[in-house]
Each structure stands twice: as structure tokens, then as C-alpha cells.
Amino acid sequence: MKKLITTVAALATALVAGSAATAADSIKIGDINHFKRLAAFAEPYRQGIELAAKQINDAGGVLGRPLEFIHRDDDGKPGDAVKIAEELMTRDGAVMLTGSILSNVGLAISSFAGQKGYIYLAAEPLADDIVWSSGNKYTFRLRASTYVQAAMLAEQAAKTDAVKYATIAPNYAYGKAAVEAFKKNLKALKPDVEFVTEQWPALFKIDAGAEVQALERAKPDAIYNVTFGTDLQKFVREGTTRGLFEGRMVYGLLTGEPEYLEPLGAEAPEGWFVTGYPWYAFTDGPAKQFVDDYEAAYPGETPKIGSLVGYMTAKSIAALITKAGSTDTDAMLEAFKDLKVATPMGEITYRALDHQSTMGAYVGTTTVKDDKGVMVDWSYKDPAPYMPSDDEIRAMRPAE
């Protein structure tokens, strides 16, 4: 009897140890994001990550080990994000970092990663400083750059008769970069354009009535809008009420993304030329397969651009570690050079030149169907024709 008890106890200990080993053997990725402050984007993003992680792990994991994402909330504060990044790497056993939406937070994590020698895949931050003027050896970026998306809108704007433009953008790194890029590209295509006013509301603190009045006083032919989230909702509603958009073309960066367009419902703007994500219009291929998989995994929900970004983030990390053959930082840095990843948007490459992925963007025109804002006449654009030259990028990036 004593022998039986000893055997059972030993077996129980082995099972517990085995479970602990399985957990310890997972490859941990530290994911930092604004899950409370920007839940409309961050929650779909997390769901996209978890969908990809499940698919990866069901297929055997990465290097025979499960891929595990540790999600932490930074409340949209750069200081908190840096503290969390250190905890994830030194206490929680993460092998690299990813995440962030707000560009100021992404820049803070990037700077910290560069100082500490931690790999950081900036999933969403759009400020181009992350990979250009503030770029470093350890930081990579997934999303199509602000410069590229602004250039796509400027290309369309240059085809019109509009000469006088007004801009409105949130007053922080992303907004500043978005306006600068649009102005640079539009002036290059149409030198006679004039920017008659620039409005800079504080992020998520827009006084929409005052902003609309200021834009109307400037009498622009067209408007370039960079507001998003609740700022966009307030701007659209106030601008519509006051007739700001009547007879004027509006170009909207990110406006066509479901996170920002869907909350407007039947009040969504019509006729704006925007970048976005028309998931509802895909009929085949990997883009449609992702939509189907996402809706099956999360019944009653539809994918957002955040869902796609999260999914592509996890797929990128799995491809990176597989190519590296280990989770060693130096091996992963080498593997990131021209890393190719199969995604719902087709194959993308992380350019060795500047650590920017070749993820493109969807552009199209907004309209309302069945009391919902959607994109029509859309197309997917490759970023290559819209990038600065390789020499320009080399001149912007700090020496490593």
C-alpha cells in the first residue's frame, strides 16, 4: 500500500512538473497596448493575435513550442509602457516586444528597446519617425507608413481642380507627420496648391464646433482630415450639421477603417476619399479566408483593421522565429532582414533598409449602405511607388 501511495504521489508530481514545463516551454511575446483607452481598436487587435496564435499552435507551434502572448495595458501612457516593457522582458520571460497604437507610446517603447537591446515590432504606430528619423537596430514596423497612406490620398487630390486646402489633425506625432506628408506629396504633384489653414485639436479633446467654424472661415476648396476615434465622430457630425462638407472634397486618413466608420452609422460621411479596410467586400483569396476565420472564431463580431493588424503581427513573429531557428536576439535580428510573411493581404517583406514592412493600404470612397458607412470603388495599393527613395531613407535613419 505504501508503495502504491508513493507511486501515485510520484506520478502526480510528474504531471504537475510536466504542466509547469509545458507552460515554461512556451515562447512568450510581450504585447503592450491601450486596451482600455482605445478598446475599439485594441480589443479586435488582441482577438486577431489570439486567432493567429491558435492557428499556429494547433499546427504545432513555433520550433515545436507554443507561442504565447502576454497582454499588458499601458493606459496610453509612454512612461507606463516603458516600465511594463522592462517587466515583460526581465520578469515575465518575453523574448521580444510588440504592440502599441498611439505613436508617442510606440516611440517611447522603440527608444527603450534600442537602449536595452530588446526587439520591438511596432504593430500599429503610424508616425514614420519610428523607422526613419528615430529608427534603431531593434525596432521594426508592420503598418503601412503615414507617409505612404498620405501620398496615396495626395495622388487622388492632385487629379482635381482644388487649389486651396485646409487640414485638421490631432496635435501629436502622428498628426504632425500625416499633415507634413500630405503637403509634401501634394505640392510635388501640384505646385500651385495653397494650404489656407491648419487646425490642431488636442487628441480626443476636440472642440468640434470651433474647429468647423475655423475651417469654414478659411473657405478651402478641399479638406484633409486626420482625426479618428471619437474626435472623428464629433467632427463629422458637427461638420455635417454646419454644411462644412457641402461642395468640398474631403480626404480622410484612416476614416474608412471600421473602428472609426462603423460607429457613425447612417451619419457616416459620403463621398470622402479615404484609406480603410473594406472587409465586407472581399469575395475570395486569403483576405476572404481571414474574414471567414475571424467570424467563425468570434460569432457575432466582424473584423476591424485592428483584427487584421493583430493577426499579421502574430504571423510575422512566428515567421521571424521560424526563420531565426531560435529566440536568440541576434539570430532574430538577422532573420528580420527582408523577412517574408504570408498574410491576408498577400506576402509582405520587412525591408532590411529601414525595418518597414511592405504592407499596403486600401483606398476608396465612403458611402452609406443599409444605414452603415462603407467603402466603395476601393482598391489595394502597394506601398512601393509611394515611398521616399532609398537614398532619402538612408539619410533620415541614424547610423547604427
CA separation for the pair 68, 88 (Å, rounded): 12
How many other CB atoms sit within 10 Å of the CB of residue 372? 15
- Check pLDDT > 70 for residue 180: yes
Give me the pLDDT at residue 14, please: 37
Reduced to 3 states, what is the DSSP secondary structure of residue 122?
Answer: strand
What is the mean pLDDT of the segment spanning 319-337?
A: 98
- Check pLDDT > 80 for residue 11: no
One domain for residues 259 and 203: yes
Tell me if 157 sits within 8 A of 223, measured CB to CB. Answer: no
Residue pLDDT, tens place only, 225-258: 999 999 999 999 999 999 999 999 999 999 999 9
CA separation for the pair 394, 383 (Å, rounded): 18
One domain for residues 119 and 160: no
Give me the pLDDT at residue 239, please: 98
β 372-381/164-168 pair status: unpaired
The reply to whether 367 falls in a domain is yes
Give me the pLDDT at residue 96, please: 98
- With cut-offs at 50, 70 and 90, classify the pLDDT of residue 15: very low
One domain for residues 37 and 183: no
Domains of the chain: total:
2
Give me the pLDDT at residue 40, please: 85
- Check pLDDT > 90 for residue 24: no
CA separation for the pair 9, 16 (Å, rounded): 11
Q: Quick one: which of 177, 174, 223, 234 has its CA closest to 197?
A: 223
What is the mean pLDDT of the segment spanning 65-70?
A: 98
The reply to whether 350 falls in a domain is no
The reply to whether 177 falls in a domain is yes
One domain for residues 42 and 59: yes
Residue 89's domain comprises 20-143+304-336
DSSP state of 38: T
The alpha carbons of the chain give a radius of gyration, in whole angstroms, of 23
Give me the pLDDT at residue 60, please: 97
Give the chain's mean pLDDT: 93
One domain for residues 138 and 263: no
One domain for residues 93 and 155: no
Tell me if 382 sits within 8 A of 349, measured CB to CB. Answer: no
For the whole prediction, is pTM greater than 0.85?
yes
Backbone angles phi, psi at 97, to 5 degrees: -120, 155
One domain for residues 39 and 164: no
Give me the pLDDT at residue 171, please: 96
Residue pLDDT, tens place only, 36-60: 888 888 999 999 999 999 999 999 9
What is the mean pLDDT of the segment spanning 122-143?
A: 95
The reply to whether 97 falls in a domain is yes
One domain for residues 272 and 374: yes
- Check pLDDT > 90 for residue 220: yes
**CATH code for the domain of 309:** 3.40.50.2300
Reduced to 3 states, what is the DSSP secondary structure of residue 238?
Answer: helix
One domain for residues 131 and 188: no
Backbone angles phi, psi at 38, to 5 degrees: -125, 55
- Check pLDDT > 60 for residue 194: yes
CA separation for the pair 331, 256 (Å, rounded): 38
Helix and strand counts by DSSP (H, E) for the chain: 13, 14
One domain for residues 172 and 268: yes
One domain for residues 264 and 160: yes
One domain for residues 46 and 84: yes
CA separation for the pair 234, 282 (Å, rounded): 30
